[in-house]
Structure 1
Amino acid sequence: MSVRNLVQEFSALNDPRCGGKVKHRLIDVLVIAVCAEIAGAESWGDFALYGRSKQDWLGTFLALPNGIPSHDTFRRVFMLIDTGRFEAFFGSWARSFGATLDREVAAIDGKTIRGSHDRGREQAALHVVSAWACDRRPVLGQRQIGDKSNEITAIPELLDVLDIKGAIVTLDAMGCQRTIASKIIEKGTDYLVTLKANQGKKFAAVQELCATTYFSRSSAHQPMRDETDDDHGRLVRRRVFVCAGALVLEPLRDWPGVKTDLAVKTIRHVGGSDKTETDIRYFLSSSDGQPEILARAFRRHWQIENSLHRVLDVTFDEDHCRIRDRKAVQNFALLRKIAINLVRRHHESKASLKGRRKMAAWDNRYMEQVLTGNFHA
Structure 2
Amino acid sequence: MHIDSFSQHFAVIQDPRQSAKITYPLFDVLFLTVCATIAGMDGWEDIEDFGEAHLDWLQSKGLFREGLPVHDTIARVVSSVEPSQFQDCFLKWMQAVSASSEGELIAIDGKVLRGSYNREDRKSTIHMVSAFATANGVVMGQVKTQEKSNEITAIPELLKLLDVSGCLVSIDAMGCQTDIASQIVKQGGDYLLAVKGNQENLAKVVQKALAPVSQKNHTSTIGQGHGRVEAHEYHVLPATDIAAELPVWEGLKTIGVAIGYRLDSTGKESLDYRYYISSAELTPERFADAVRGHWEIESRLHWVLDVTMNEDACQIYRGNAAEVLAGVRHMALNMLRLETGKKASIRRKQKMAAMNSAYLEQVILAGINRLGKN
TM interval, shorter chain, is over 0.9
- 2:317 paired with 1:317: no
8 Å contact from structure 2 (residues 338, 367) kept in 1: no
Amino acid of the residue matched to residue 255 of structure 2? D
Provide the residue aligned with 1:280 in structure 2: 273
User: What is the CA-CA distance between 1:272 and the residue it aligns to?
Assistant: 4.0
Structure 1: which 5+ runs fail to align? 215-219
Instruction: Give per-residue Cα distances to partners, 1:40-84, cap 9 Å, x unaligned.
Output: 211112212211221111111133232112212221122211111
Question: What is the alpha-carbon distance in structure 1 between the residues aligned to residue 26 and residue 137 of structure 2?
Answer: 29
User: What is the CA-CA distance between 1:270 and the residue it aligns to?
Assistant: 1.4
Instruction: Give per-residue Cα distances to partners, 1:283-329, cap 9 Å, x unaligned.
Output: 01010255532231011000010001000001110111111235110
Pairs aligned (count): 369
Amino acid of the residue matched to residue 259 of structure 1? K
Provide the residue aligned with 1:217 in structure 2: none
TM-score by length of structure 2 reads 0.93
- 2:235 paired with 1:260: no
Question: What is the alpha-carbon distance in structure 1 between the residues aligned to residue 270 and residue 148 of structure 2?
Answer: 38
User: What is the CA-CA distance between 1:122 and the residue it aligns to?
Assistant: 4.8
Question: What is the alpha-carbon distance in structure 2 between the residues aligned to residue 261 and residue 124 of structure 1?
Answer: 38
User: What is the CA-CA distance between 1:118 and the residue it aligns to?
Assistant: 2.8
Q: Kindly tell me: are residues 16 and 175 of structure 1, through their superposed partners in 2, closer, same or farther at Cα, counting changes over 3 Å?
A: same
8 Å contact from structure 1 (residues 195, 284) kept in 2: yes
User: What is the CA-CA distance between 1:338 and the residue it aligns to?
Assistant: 1.0
- 2:100 paired with 1:108: no
What SS does the aligned partner of 2:297 have?
A: helix
Provide the residue aligned with 1:372 in structure 2: 365
Question: What is the alpha-carbon distance in structure 2 between the residues aligned to residue 127 and residue 48 of structure 1?
Answer: 27
Amino acid of the residue matched to residue 60 of structure 1? S
Q: How does 1:113-262 map to 2 (within 5 A)?
A: 113-147=113-147, 150-211=150-211, 213-214=212-213, 220-245=214-239, 248-262=242-256
Provide the residue aligned with 1:330 in structure 2: 323
8 Å contact from structure 1 (residues 242, 295) kept in 2: no
8 Å contact from structure 2 (residues 230, 263) kept in 1: yes
Q: Kindly tell me: are residues 246 and 231 of structure 1, through their superposed partners in 2, closer, same or farther at Cα, counting changes over 3 Å?
A: farther
Q: Kindly tell me: are residues 159 and 247 of structure 1, through their superposed partners in 2, closer, same or farther at Cα, counting changes over 3 Å?
A: farther
Q: How does 1:16-31 map to 2 (within 5 A)?
A: 16-31=16-31
Amino acid of the residue matched to residue 253 of structure 1? P
Q: How does 1:350-361 map to 2 (within 5 A)?
A: 350-361=343-354
- 2:296 paired with 1:294: no
Q: Kindly tell me: are residues 169 and 278 of structure 1, through their superposed partners in 2, closer, same or farther at Cα, counting changes over 3 Å?
A: same
Question: What is the alpha-carbon distance in structure 1 between the residues aligned to residue 188 and residue 2 of structure 2?
Answer: 26
8 Å contact from structure 1 (residues 323, 329) kept in 2: yes
Amino acid of the residue matched to residue 75 of structure 2? R
- 2:56 paired with 1:56: yes
8 Å contact from structure 1 (residues 15, 81) kept in 2: yes
8 Å contact from structure 1 (residues 238, 267) kept in 2: yes
What SS does the aligned partner of 2:124 have?
A: coil
What SS does the aligned partner of 1:200 have?
A: helix
Q: Kindly tell me: are residues 141 and 4 of structure 1, through their superposed partners in 2, closer, same or farther at Cα, counting changes over 3 Å?
A: farther
Q: Kindly tell me: are residues 229 and 96 of structure 1, through their superposed partners in 2, closer, same or farther at Cα, counting changes over 3 Å?
A: same
Structure 2: which 5+ runs fail to align? 370-374
Provide the residue aligned with 1:304 in structure 2: 297
Instruction: Give per-residue Cα distances to partners, 1:236-291, cap 9 Å, x unaligned.
Output: 11111111125624541111221111111112111341x32111110010102555
User: What is the CA-CA distance between 1:352 and the residue it aligns to?
Assistant: 1.5
Q: Kindly tell me: are residues 48 and 165 of structure 1, through their superposed partners in 2, closer, same or farther at Cα, counting changes over 3 Å?
A: same
Q: Kindly tell me: are residues 326 and 111 of structure 1, through their superposed partners in 2, closer, same or farther at Cα, counting changes over 3 Å?
A: farther
8 Å contact from structure 1 (residues 28, 62) kept in 2: no
What SS does the aligned partner of 1:139 have?
A: strand
User: What is the CA-CA distance between 1:110 and the residue it aligns to?
Assistant: 0.4
Amino acid of the residue matched to residue 309 of structure 2? F
